[in-house]
Structure 1
């Protein structure tokens, strides 16, 4: 049971890290001067990446809730 929980926590941490990395990459691309159409696409990509980060963090908190001290 403990091994399964550890594996789920590791998977959740990886999911958060991948989502945060994708968000950082999209934001860096957005900072470059491209064109309006590309910037609109990148804005959408940033928004989706932000949603993925929030969802990954929510899942991680469900598996390992923070201590309330």
Structure 2
């Protein structure tokens, strides 16, 4: 039981870190002048990644309420 909880916590932390990394990369790409079409696509991706970060953090808090 304890091992399963630790595994779930590790997966949840990994999801949060991965989503935050993708969000950081997308924001960095948006700062580069690449054109309107690409900027619109990046804005869509950023919104999607923000949602993933929120969902991943929520899942982590459900598993371990002491996590901030």
TM-score where L is the length of structure 1:
0.94
Matches of 1:5 and 1:39, distance apart in 2: 40
Runs of 4+ in 1 over 2 A off after TM superposition: none
Matches of 1:3 and 1:34, distance apart in 2: 46
Cα deviation for residue 8 of structure 1 reads: 0.2
Matches of 2:54 and 2:66, distance apart in 1: 16
TM-score where L is the length of structure 2:
0.96
Q: Which residue of 2 aligns with 1:44?
A: 44
Matched, 1:29 2:62: no
Matches of 2:41 and 2:59, distance apart in 1: 27
Structure 2: 5+ residue stretches without partners: none
Cα deviation for residue 66 of structure 1 reads: 2.2
Matches of 2:10 and 2:2, distance apart in 1: 12
Q: Which residue of 1 aligns with 2:4?
A: 4
Structure 1: 5+ residue stretches without partners: none
Aligned length: 67
